[in-house]
Amino acid sequence: MKQFVPVSAVLALALAAGTAAADEAQIAVAANFTAPMKTIIQMFEEDTEHTVKASYGSTGKLYAQIENGAPFEALLAADQKRPELLEKEGVAVPGTRFTYAVGTLVLWSAEPDVVEDGEALLKSGDFNKLAIANPKLAPYGEAAMQTMDALGVKAALEPKLVRGENIAQTYQFVDTGNAEVGFVALSQVMQDGQITKGSGWIVPGDLHEPIRQDAVILDKGKDSAAVTALFAYLKGEKAQAVIHDFGYETE
């Protein structure tokens, strides 16, 4: 004879199991991906039992922190180079790396009508300061240098450059007017498919190397249920929609 188990008891057991399985992911995220990641984390935490603690910064600095033993369990970089290095160094879990977003560079001003023809503006040099992220630390800064080099204006604009530690600080330089224009990530100035403030020129992709942004699980996160679930979530439809809304492509 089968024993009847009340529905309330089944629900209680399920909730208890869910709570026991809940975990926290500690992740490092490239500064350019701050806005979409905050949205994705909120959705992820609502849809699962897990929580996420994220630290944002330049990919170069986050990589250095990981090398020095920072307790991160995963890295969402702004390039492919650092995740690949972490794999080669045995710090990352083989087979977990994937391209979660392909970034877009934009020449942006906080003021309307300043950036209409970005190429012409760069060639004229008709501004006092041009903000870029430190190209040694930030892939978007490296792409900005490649763009200026491709347009033949790098030497002329060098005296006007203001370097941010990361793309978030670079955005602040322009947003506060300390630099009239700057190379920032499209995701910082776009939402729902539109540039929401000021004026901008989307840099053609053939002027710099593609900004493929890779994520990888680190050794400290290889047994984390939250990290595994988050990586699966990033590949899902809901997260992909957010990524696209902020001006990124996905592969």
Q: What is the per-residue pLDDT across 47-64, written as a single tens digit (0 to 9) for each?
A: 999 999 999 999 999 999
Buried b (16+ CB within 10 A) or exposed e, 8-45: eeeeeeeeeeeeeeebebbbbbbbbbbbbbebbbebbe
Q: What is the per-residue pLDDT across 147-194, written as a single tens digit (0 to 9) for each?
A: 999 999 999 999 999 999 999 999 999 999 999 999 999 999 987 778
**Where do the domains of the chain lie?**
19-102+211-245, 103-207
Asked if residue 216 lies in contact with residue 66, where contact means CB atoms within 8 angstroms, the answer is no
| CATH fold match for the domains 19-102+211-245 and 103-207 | yes
Task: Give CATH superfamily name and number for 103-207.
Answer: Periplasmic binding protein-like II (3.40.190.10)
Averaged over successive runs of 10 residues, the pLDDT of the chain (251 residues) comes to 42 40 93 95 97 96 97 97 97 98 97 95 97 94 98 98 95 97 94 84 96 97 97 97 93 82
19-102+211-245: CATH class: alpha beta
